[in-house]
Structure 1
Amino acid sequence: MGSQEVSSTVDWQGKHVTVAGLGVSGIPAARALHERGALVTVVNDGDDERARAQAAELEALGITVRLGDGATLPPSTELVVTAPGWQPDKPLFLAAAEAGVPVWGDVELAWRLRGTGGREPAPWLAVTGTNGKTTTVRMLASILQAAGLRTAAVGNIGVSLLDAVLGETEYDVLAVELSSYQLHWAPSLRAHSAAVLNLAPDHLDWHGSMAAYAADKGRVYEGNTVACVYNVADPATEDLVREADVEEGCRAIGFTLGAPGPSQLGVVDGILVDRAFVANRQKQAQELAEVTDVNPPAPHNIANALAAAALARAFGVEPAAVRDGLRAFRPDAHRIEHVADIDEVRYVDDSKATNTHATEASLAAYDSIVWIAGGLAKGATFDGLVTGAAKRLRGVVLIGADRALIREALTRHAPEVPVVDLDRTDTGAMSEAVARAAELARPGDTVLLAPACASMDMFTNYNKRGEAFADAVRARADESA
């Protein structure tokens, strides 16, 4: 069965479908296909207690589940639907390719199933990029809601797209966060409008190369009907627009932190302005919001707001709703989150900055910084990051397994900056890190947790790392009160 033969118009009754992976995407996919009469087999690498409990629930519905063996393609498989994180070189997918069996991700399945049951399918406004996706999608949803539209932030943000397109709520439009993994497995996705926020090396072990990673990100532009939104400061994103095959009349729309040219959104005298969706973009600009309406008004967050505004404007949202939506938006925890001011020193939690690209943006938001950094480097190098931030650094406190890599970069490019190297990776190290950072800080400085590394050497995830930082800061604030 070719990939074009399986679609929302096909009778799924009796179709043999293999779902790869239990979890956030696999379980809804298995249920949705089973409800439509498909013969579903779920395969999963793991065979732990949680997997067995999930398997029991599916088996009670009549779905076959095979635990501990995600490598073998079940006989008679006509379609594979995979969890987005499964790597393309897994034996299951190689066997599928050899057998001519198409492989879809959960996003592809959701795209194919939208509009079933006689309802009008909601258009998708899609966002991808190395950093800033979740914030931008949530800003976009806030703007759309301010415009009175029925919408939801869905996709990689944690809400299953399948649940969104098949649930009881009928949406006017969806704000969709898409990872490179999801885009890799979504060949027929065609968004109303889409944005690539930025591109930096990430997940290269999964994609195999930077070119392959960028190509998967660029899939988000394929078939766009109204706008392809790109980052003027990141030419690679505009290159992806040029390479995309879009619908006739679809426009390239840039966003910039500087004054915008025609067909761009940007910033003029502290005002977010639109020179793309106005009657005379050669000579006119529409005020959308003030920089102070963006929370927090850090440069990279203003860029996120401009991208969200561009997608909303592409959908016909009025300027006042852009302003109101941005004012109403509150960022998720651990994303450049102000924790407290103690003795005229600001303490900021950006534990979500798990790579150098995100940390570069975080460091650029403040003039004088005591930087808390370190963790699992995931193969990253830090010379460029340190070189760009050196003049802003009052001091550095290093934690985590790969802190030596950052220390060596500091020695090479910022030898005058005092460095505290905490030779411990227990969770209690964060309290000491905050205490040592406070010793280095001066009134007017910012103590910034922006690790540039993953957290799993010391913490369960970046949320736990951020919580440890915030707890240590608040304890210190209570002592000084």
Structure 2
Amino acid sequence: MGSGKVTTGSAPFDFQGKHVTVAGLGVSGIPAARALHARGALVTVVNDGDDARSREQAEALEALGITVRLGDGATLPEGTELIVTTPGWQPGKPLFQAAAEAGVPVWGDVELAWRLRGPDAAPWLAVTGTNGKTTTVRMLAAILEAAGLRTAAVGNIGVSLLDVVLGEETYDVLAVELSSYQLHWAPSLRAHSAAVLNLAPDHLDWHGSMEAYAADKGRIYAGNQVACVYNVADKATEDLVREADVEEGCRAIGFTLGTPGPSQLGVVDGILVDRAFVENRQKNAQELAEVSDVQPPAPHNIANALAAAALARAFGVPAQAVRDGLRSFRPDAHRIEHVADLDGVAYVDDSKATNTHAAQASLAAYESIVWIAGGLAKGATFDELVAASAKHLRAVVLIGADRALIREALARHAPEVPVVDLDRTDTGAMLQAVTEAKRLAVAGDTVLLAPACASMDMFTNYNQRGDAFATAVGELRA
């Protein structure tokens, strides 16, 4: 317990006696409520839900003296001087409209964590983008660890920034994954260096437009001190760098799967090279690692590795640590995960490909594919994805509620590709889908689960969908 006054890179904010409303329970809301209460704030938690789990969480908070209102997330509690919101709450909710009318500021959990940092807090190397965030942040953490630095992969990756910032363990640097939701509510964040990996339409129902979504992603560059890392192949990310208000001397650093120019990282003859953080970058380059050091060596994963390397190099990490960190890294489950080889056919689980941008990257990694796709489209269209991927498709098996949208795009852009449309949305449909894919595949093919859709029409989440795929492949082997 401190004095209640916090002084960091942001303006001090004295929580003692202040009426603070926390919007939402869960992974970030509960730590926020506890942290604010410990600093003398008068905390009220509001939550839309009123189920058994919420009531259990509310009881634990009320035992500390925190007020909890369940089933009423729309009304601004009287006297509120600050709102701290969990990331999922949309900006258009009545609570925030009432706050705007009353002149009440709204912070997210990331903003609160940033403001609660101590004077000697570890700098943040931050990553956002439509796809690849978690992999890149975990690669970055592996590289930093290989350099002997005390670090952790935190943020949207599932580890609460508040818990890390307020914990007893000290760090040299943090690898921070930030979603567009979190960035929307983090006006004071100022990272050491940051990367936007890519931009494609996603979460537009939350942000309201592609322009608003991009603007929130671009907030990650605000106030960067050393490097703004962008994707040379995605001009929108470079545009965000050009628009960013950064510290004097901060540099724009590109990453590319091609030969890098000065102030870029790229690939030359199977070698990841750095022409950004070297002496005389007009003429010199530093070898960092081999493409084979990245697992799996799919193009978009190489891009992730280059972005991670750029942030690490911006922090002064030596080249050998980049190589050692990439060699030690293993991707999370359901991200281009090789499940089995059967009769010369590879079975690959990329259930994490929950949107068209991720699926397109996955499909580009293999020559001949029997593609298992479908689920909840979330308002997406599939013409661009199918047109770009048609040359890789031997056949397609469709499942899920919005499979017709993919089938229609296939009819327009890949009419010669055989399509099996499974009119099922039950969990057991995955076994039939994998069985049909096995029938259609020939030696040398890849059966690829890259749904390009969310999973909640058939499964609890993408993890359960990927597990169902792996189980089905296992049954084929039996």
TM-score (norm 2): 0.98
3-state SS, counterpart of residue 390 of structure 1:
helix
TM-superposition CA deviations, 1:43-66 (whole Å, max 9, x none): 001110000000000000000001
3-state SS, counterpart of residue 125 of structure 2:
strand
Residue 475 of structure 1: how far off its partner (Å) = 1.7
Letter in 1 for 2:447: V
Structure 2 counterparts to residues 8-407 of structure 1, below 5 A: 9-115=12-118, 120-407=120-407
Equivalent residues of 1:126, 1:220 under 8 A apart: yes
Letter in 2 for 1:268: V
CA distance in 2, matches of 1:63, 1:5: 26
Equivalent residues of 2:10, 2:188 under 8 A apart: no
CA distance in 1, matches of 2:8, 2:105: 10
Residue 7 of structure 1: how far off its partner (Å) = 6.1
CA distance in 1, matches of 2:121, 2:8: 20
TM-superposition CA deviations, 1:87-127 (whole Å, max 9, x none): 10111111111111100000000000011xxx611000000
Residue 379 of structure 1: how far off its partner (Å) = 1.0
Aligned to 2:4: none
Residue 331 of structure 1: how far off its partner (Å) = 0.4
Equivalent residues of 1:371, 1:395 under 8 A apart: yes
Equivalent residues of 1:8, 1:113 under 8 A apart: no
Letter in 2 for 1:51: S
Residue 474 of structure 1: how far off its partner (Å) = 1.5
Aligned to 2:3: none
Residue 477 of structure 1: how far off its partner (Å) = 1.9
State whether structure 2 residue 465 is matched by structure 1 residue 469.
Answer: no
Residue 373 of structure 1: how far off its partner (Å) = 0.4
Aligned to 1:446: 446
Q: Where does structure 2 lack aligned partners over 5 or more consecutive residues?
A: 1-6
CA distance in 2, matches of 1:13, 1:208: 36
CA distance in 2, matches of 1:379, 1:16: 39
Percent of aligned positions that are identical:
85
Equivalent residues of 1:138, 1:153 under 8 A apart: yes
Aligned to 1:422: 422
244-253 or 425-434: bigger deviation: 425-434
Residue 290 of structure 1: how far off its partner (Å) = 0.3
7-16 or 287-296: bigger deviation: 7-16
State whether structure 2 residue 445 is matched by structure 1 residue 455.
Answer: no
CA distance in 1, matches of 2:29, 2:246: 30
Aligned CA-pair RMSD: 1.4
CA distance in 2, matches of 1:410, 1:129: 27
CA distance in 2, matches of 1:455, 1:445: 25
Equivalent residues of 1:7, 1:113 under 8 A apart: no
Letter in 2 for 1:38: A
Q: Which runs of 4+ in 1 moved over 3 A?
A: 4-11
Q: Where does structure 1 lack aligned partners over 5 or more consecutive residues?
A: none
Residue 348 of structure 1: how far off its partner (Å) = 0.1
CA distance in 2, matches of 1:312, 1:226: 11
CA distance in 1, matches of 2:67, 2:271: 57
Equivalent residues of 2:8, 2:117 under 8 A apart: no
Residue 11 of structure 1: how far off its partner (Å) = 3.2
Equivalent residues of 1:196, 1:218 under 8 A apart: yes
3-state SS, counterpart of residue 401 of structure 1:
coil
CA distance in 2, matches of 1:37, 1:9: 15
Letter in 2 for 1:84: P
3-state SS, counterpart of residue 199 of structure 1:
coil
Letter in 1 for 2:290: E
Residue 10 of structure 1: how far off its partner (Å) = 3.6
CA distance in 1, matches of 2:309, 2:60: 42
CA distance in 1, matches of 2:54, 2:149: 38
Residue 319 of structure 1: how far off its partner (Å) = 0.3
